[in-house]
């Protein structure tokens, strides 16, 4: 068909049980394990996240491996499929799937006119170069009923139906509230450009049992112009009492220009999921969100992804929702050029971020997060802020640390800052040994009741941190900004004609202060104050709003 890209594919053959298990492990299957030990495993993840995935349960996989190894590898054409792009091959495909085992899809355009609904347990559907299965009438190709162990490889799946009406419930592959386990798509291409459905949609809402959806992965696949979403896995059960989804994700996939007709999301994990993973994926032309984890996740792994040519309002990474996200690992993700608005990290506890390099036109928005640690981050904004940290009235945003990170903006001018801390419950956050680049404005400020947030030993505009800050005073009172407190000592200077008042923000720090003027300088914080006489030096400590001195 003109204008349709058909994958080159590989002439793959099945190997023995050992290599089959190795393949499933490499694809990321069973990263979370099976028992309570899975939580401990994720709590101790280090930077080699992808390499620490747990060995999958072998008993069920061995069953499928034996079946497939013994299969003769029948072809769709053995069941009467034609593959000319005109003949209705639906019944032939359904008959082939019912036979189970390995099924080869030869080169050709195999047309379906309705959705096939069935269990795919034991199915191994493999495409030859140029294999394509499509429909020009249906909204979905395959509905997965209760399925355990299935594999799809090297096939171009497409829906060409011309209809902009969204259908949120379906996809080229989809399931609704049933068990789906040990399913892998490898080297497949998905395209549904003109109808607002997904490529793959797995729904665990109200499904029976804990971990009823697990070990579901797309590996080395392409999601091209999927008009609603590329890959979506969700559990939107109201007030869930068990975790229904674990160990799901995408590895080394391309998501390009998805969501043009609805939602605009490329890869979405939504709801309480244990161990969602996005590793080494490429996101190009994202419209609203490239990579989303929404809801109360446990230990999501988002590493080594790249982002390019995003829409003006698109988020590179978005972790949001009303429930807390526990222990996310977000590492080595990278923008390929400046695009998109930024990233959202909301409601995270004990997050670990490291060496993410993001270029955008808005800011990285941190909201209601506690005890997060970010190391070696680089946020380069074309807008007013690089990092915006805030709390809502319901939650705190506190005790987060950014260590040896770089923050830069192109247009940060008053009343903006490169990093802003905002809200009455935003406190005790620290940027330490960071580097700042800005065109105008200040490095850091705190507004709307935010306090006790600090800069410590940060470089500014390529100038190394200086331990001593000189503060010239005029015949008017002076307030020290949070940006100016990043030093170990203050020297007050100036030709004064009367006593001056210098006010510090609430903080938890100590400085050596020297009065080099000819008048008394009164240092205040809150309702507490001390006097430093001309020529006198004192070690001054401020604990929130109380001043003490030695």
**CA–CA–CA angle 230, 235, 238 (5° rounding):** 140
As a whole number of angstroms, the distance between CA 342 and CA 174 comes to 31
pTM, entire model:
0.85
- Contact residues for 313 (Cβ-Cβ < 8 A; gap 6+): 288, 340, 341
As a whole number of angstroms, the distance between CA 423 and CA 367 comes to 10
Residue 377: its pLDDT value, please? 98
Over the stretch 96-120, which tens digit does the pLDDT of each residue have? Answer: 999 999 999 999 999 999 999 999 9
CB 331 within 8 A of CB 357: no
State yes or no: pLDDT of 408 exceeds 90: yes
- Bridge-based pairing of strands 521-525 and 528-532 is antiparallel
Over the stretch 42-89, which tens digit does the pLDDT of each residue have? Answer: 333 344 443 444 333 333 334 444 444 334 579 999 999 999 999 999
Over the stretch 110-167, which tens digit does the pLDDT of each residue have? Answer: 999 999 999 999 999 999 999 999 999 998 999 999 999 999 999 999 999 876 566 6
**For range 300-324, the mean pLDDT:** 95
Domain boundaries of the chain, sorted by first residue:
17-232+240-270, 468-549
Residue 256: its pLDDT value, please? 96
As a whole number of angstroms, the distance between CA 223 and CA 200 comes to 9
Over the stretch 22-54, which tens digit does the pLDDT of each residue have? Answer: 434 444 433 333 233 333 333 333 444 434 443
End-to-end Cα separation, the chain, in angstroms? 83
State yes or no: pLDDT of 438 exceeds 50: yes
Quote the tokens at residue 488: 């170990």
Task: Name the helix (H) or strand (E) containing 97.
Answer: helix 90-99
Q: Give the closest residue to 70 by CA, choosing from 26, 116, 108, 122.
A: 122
Over the stretch 330-353, which tens digit does the pLDDT of each residue have? Answer: 999 999 999 999 999 999 999 999
As a whole number of angstroms, the distance between CA 273 and CA 445 comes to 36
Over the stretch 472-512, which tens digit does the pLDDT of each residue have? Answer: 999 999 999 999 999 999 999 999 999 999 999 999 999 99
Q: Give the closest residue to 14 by CA, choosing from 122, 182, 126.
A: 126
């Amino acid at each position: 068909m003109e204008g349709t890209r058909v994958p080159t594919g590989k002439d793959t053959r099945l190997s023995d049980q050992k290599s089959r298990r190795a393949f499933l492990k490499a694809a990321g299957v069973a990263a979370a394990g099976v028992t309570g030990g899975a939580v401990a495993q994720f709590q101790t993840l280090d930077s080699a996240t992808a390499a620490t995935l747990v060995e999958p349960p072998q008993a069920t996989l061995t069953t499928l491996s034996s079946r497939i190894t013994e299969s003769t590898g029948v072809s769709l054409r053995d069941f009467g499929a034609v593959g000319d792009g005109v003949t209705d091959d639906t019944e032939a495909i359904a008959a082939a799937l019912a036979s189970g085992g390995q099924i080869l899809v030869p080169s050709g355009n195999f047309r379906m006119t309705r959705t096939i609904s069935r269990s795919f347990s034991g199915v191994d559907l493999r495409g030859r170069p140029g294999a394509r299965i499509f429909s020009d009438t249906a909204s979905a190709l395959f509905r997965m009923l209760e399925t355990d162990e299935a594999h799809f490889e090297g096939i171009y799946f497409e829906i060409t139906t011309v209809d902009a009406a969204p259908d949120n419930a379906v996809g080229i592959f989809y399931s609704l509230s049933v068990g789906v386990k040990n399913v892998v798509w490898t080297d497949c291409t998905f395209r549904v450009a003109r109808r607002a459905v997904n490529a793959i949609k797995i729904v665990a809402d109200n499904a029976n049992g804990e971990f009823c959806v697990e070990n579901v992965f797309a590996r080395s696949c392409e999601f091209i112009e999927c008009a609603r979403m590329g890959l979506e896995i969700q559990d939107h059960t109201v007030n869930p009492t068990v975790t229904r989804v674990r160990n799901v994700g995408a590895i080394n996939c391309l998501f390009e220009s998805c969501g043009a007709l609805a939602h605009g999301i490329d890869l979405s994990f939504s709801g309480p999921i244990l161990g969602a993973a996005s590793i080494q994926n490429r996101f190009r032309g994202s419209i609203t969100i490239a990579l989303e984890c929404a809801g109360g996740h446990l230990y999501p792994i988002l590493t080594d992804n790249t982002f390019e040519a995003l829409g003006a309002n698109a988020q590179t990474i978005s972790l949001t929702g009303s429930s807390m996200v526990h222990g996310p690992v977000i590492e080595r993700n990278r923008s390929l050029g400046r695009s998109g608005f930024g990233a959202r990290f909301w409601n995270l506890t004990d997050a670990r971020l490291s060496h993410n390099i993001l270029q955008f036109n808005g800011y990285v928005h941190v909201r209601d997060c506690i005890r997060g640690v970010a190391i070696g981050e680089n946020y380069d904004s074309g807008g007013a802020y690089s990092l915006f940290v805030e709390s809502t009235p319901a939650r705190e945003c506190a005790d987060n640390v950014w260590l040896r990170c770089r923050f830069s903006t192109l247009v940060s001018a008053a009343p903006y800052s490169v990093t802003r801390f905002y809200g009455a419950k935003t406190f005790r956050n620290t940027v330490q040994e960071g580097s700042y680049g800005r065109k105008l404005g200040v490095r850091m400020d705190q507004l709307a009741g935010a306090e006790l947030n600090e800069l410590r030993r940060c470089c500014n505009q390529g100038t190394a941190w200086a331990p001593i800050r000189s503060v010239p005073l005029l015949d008017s009172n002076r307030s020290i900004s949070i940006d100016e407190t990043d030093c170990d000592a203050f020297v007050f200077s100036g030709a004064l004609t009367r006593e001056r008042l210098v006010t510090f923000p609430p903080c938890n720090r100590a400085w050596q202060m020297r009065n080099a003027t000819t008048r008394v300088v009164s240092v205040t914080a809150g309702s507490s104050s001390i006097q430093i006489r001309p020529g006198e030096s004192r070690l001054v400590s401020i604990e929130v709003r109380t001043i003490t001195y030695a």
